[in-house]
Amino acid sequence: MTVAFIFNLLLIILLIGFVIAFFVYKVKKTDKKENNLTDLSREKEKYSIEKMKEYIKKQFDEITRMNLYDLALSEEEFERRKNVKYELKKALRGAGYADKSDKKYVKTLMFDLLRNNYKVNAYNINNAIPFDDVESLTPQDKFEILMHIYKKAYKAEALTQLITKYNLDFPKYEFDPEVSSYVITEAEISNIFATEVSEDTLSFDDKLEIVVQRIYQEYKGYSVVDDIRDMNIDGVSGGVSGIPPSFLDQLSDMDDYIEQMKGRKMPMSYDSVWIFYKGKATYLSFLSFGSEAELKRVCQNIYKYNNPGQLSESVGYKINEMKDGSRVVVLRPNFSESWAFFVRKFAPPTLISPEQLLIHKNKENVIELLKYLIRGARVTAITGEQGCGKTTLLMAVMKFLYPTITIRVQETAFELHLRKIYPYHNILSLRETDTISGQEGLDVQKKTDGGVNILGEVATDPVAAWMIQMAQVASKFTLFTHHAKTFPNLITALRNSLLKIGMFNSENVAEVQVVQVINFDIHLKRGVDGTRYIERITECIPLEKKFNYNNDYRKAKDLNGKLDAFMDNAVEYFGHMTQNGNYTYRNIVEFNDGEYVFTNPISEENIKAMRENMSAEDVRAFDDFIDTAWR
């Protein structure tokens, strides 16, 4: 072998070795890269909302279902774990009923499990919600971050403060260039987020609390409305706009509908989240339940407090109250076109006062008049459309009632909760159940020493009959709410209710019964801008009928004379039976140009009756009020 041959051979071997080494290096690098990508993918999946929710469910199941007797624990450890198991079971049940303390307990336990056991840290938490990438945040993410920030400062007033600060409650031409509506948009939330939130706004604990709230609301809460429901607003509803699922089956009409939409996104019923804020129905267009199944889950759970019975196809709606006193109405197909719920919240006890409810000029004299109507024991209706504040005003004016007078309340569902506001008054509330009718409740109420009877809402014919009964025989006086638009409408509606249930056969007689009972009507109105005010206070004045019957037929000497006299009496009788003039009415207070104006004075009959029911001190003050208010 020559030196050249050996050199070439070595060169070839080195070259082959280099190729092999390079190939091995590339393979290892690729494997490492793939392994790194796999690890990242696994970590991203592990710390997603869905996986953390599964972990929480599993942990809670283990805690609530474990058999402590199989663990051979010491007595002290046994008692500790037993208490944890009991407290968690109780809290999970109460959290589903909107109990704030139970909700806080469950969320605190979730927070500890995720941070200490699941090892959520400042880096992997971004896999749940991309806090480190603003562009990737959804409108829901941004809104929930804003709500968290505002809740830390304002608690239950967080949403009110957010809306007020950025004037979100003004009408916008969002969906129609010619017609404005109350809506809060995705663009508005994004702009507020950019203003309020920077990189260092949220600590790790803040981020984890936001993630915990997201997991909680999807697990035990009420989805995207969970935090909203806890705010001090008038109410929240879902499933009340957008396209119902049944509409999608009508394929023959879909092409025309899509053409009408002109390429716009078609909102579904589960994209429907509305709040009732200061009398305004406001659409949160940036929020969605995400699916019909999630909306259905919320509807099936939100009404369950105190076991009101099962919502089913045969029982298509449920009316109930929640643990905090909110009224909830849930509807489902086939009774309604889609799953839907309405939560109506009432002002908390600290906010109940006429001085805060009435804001317009000369409100002081109106409040004084309300006080004397209550202390004068006048049967009073509070009327107006839905959401105008009837129930809230009824709760507020009860402060004027003498503490010595007992209060009995009859409701379809507990809404007034007067004992929470006036704990030192003698108050008892009753309601209908599946086995006890309203009439039975009224009969029982007559035997409970009631001084004033209150009907939460006269919305059906039987309830109208109860009101008349209560006002006539069951108590000193009665207060109730009704949806009548005018005073004649109120009288006619109550009269027709008495006729429908068969209490009377004559319209005239039924109307006489009603006008002899009703003394005053306080009519509330909600303006276009959501402002609530008393539009009028009306007095009902029954007309006294004079019967001109005679006995002339006794003096007649022949049959024709007797018939003539009898016919005169018959004409008089039928005239009374068919006449509509059983009452007159007049407004004693009216709302004009932003001011309460006292127009016609109270009749002498009502003034006399009111004085008889007041204390001597109030009689003197009332007389002074009468002398000055209507000048």
Please indicate, yes or no, whether residues 292 and 263 belong to a single structural domain of this protein: yes
Please indicate, yes or no, whether residues 269 and 140 belong to a single structural domain of this protein: yes
Last residue of a domain, one of 287, 311, 344: 344
Span 354-410, pLDDT tens digits: 888 888 889 999 999 999 999 999 999 999 988 788 888 888 898 899 988 888 888
Please indicate, yes or no, whether residues 284 and 380 belong to a single structural domain of this protein: no
Please indicate, yes or no, whether residues 459 and 563 belong to a single structural domain of this protein: no
258 pLDDT higher than 60: no
Residue type, 393: L
pLDDT of residue 575: 62
CATH, residue 611: 3.40.50.300
202 pLDDT higher than 90: yes
Please indicate, yes or no, whether residues 167 and 239 belong to a single structural domain of this protein: yes
CB within 8 Å of 214: residues ≥ 6 apart: 49, 128, 129, 144
Please indicate, yes or no, whether residues 449 and 561 belong to a single structural domain of this protein: no
CATH, residue 270: 3.30.450.90
Residue 501, in any domain of the structure: yes
Average pLDDT over residues 102-115: 93
CB 370 within 8 A of CB 357: no
Higher pLDDT, 330 or 571: 330
190 pLDDT higher than 90: yes
- Cα–Cα dist 613/608, whole Å: 9
Q: Whole-prediction pTM value?
A: 0.74
Span 567-604, pLDDT tens digits: 766 666 666 555 556 888 999 999 998 899 999 999 99
Residue type, 166: Y
Please indicate, yes or no, whether residues 263 and 362 belong to a single structural domain of this protein: no
Please indicate, yes or no, whether residues 322 and 398 belong to a single structural domain of this protein: no
Span 519-554, pLDDT tens digits: 999 999 987 777 889 999 999 998 876 656 556 666
- Cα–Cα dist 42/53, whole Å: 16
Residue 504, in any domain of the structure: yes
Last residue of a domain, one of 311, 329, 344: 344
pLDDT of residue 170: 87
pLDDT of residue 568: 67
Please indicate, yes or no, whether residues 305 and 406 belong to a single structural domain of this protein: no
Last residue of a domain, one of 293, 318, 344: 344
Q: Supply the range of the domain harboring residue 599.
A: 349-543+582-623
pLDDT category at 325 given cuts 50, 70, 90 is: confident
Average pLDDT over residues 161-173: 90
pLDDT category at 474 given cuts 50, 70, 90 is: low
Residue 91, in any domain of the structure: no
Of 408, 54, 381, 98, the C-alpha closest to 227 is: 98
Residue 55, in any domain of the structure: no
Residue 101, in any domain of the structure: no
Span 288-299, pLDDT tens digits: 999 999 999 999
CB 133 within 8 A of CB 126: yes
Residue 63, in any domain of the structure: no
Higher pLDDT, 455 or 104: 104
111 pLDDT higher than 70: yes
Residue 59, in any domain of the structure: no
Higher pLDDT, 17 or 513: 513
Please indicate, yes or no, whether residues 426 and 331 belong to a single structural domain of this protein: no
Please indicate, yes or no, whether residues 530 and 558 belong to a single structural domain of this protein: no
Of 192, 194, 171, the C-alpha closest to 183 is: 171
pLDDT of residue 206: 95
CB 307 within 8 A of CB 297: no
- Cα–Cα dist 445/535, whole Å: 33
Number of domains in the chain: 3
Residue 210, in any domain of the structure: yes
Please indicate, yes or no, whether residues 556 and 530 belong to a single structural domain of this protein: no
> Which residue matches tokens 């806080």?
104
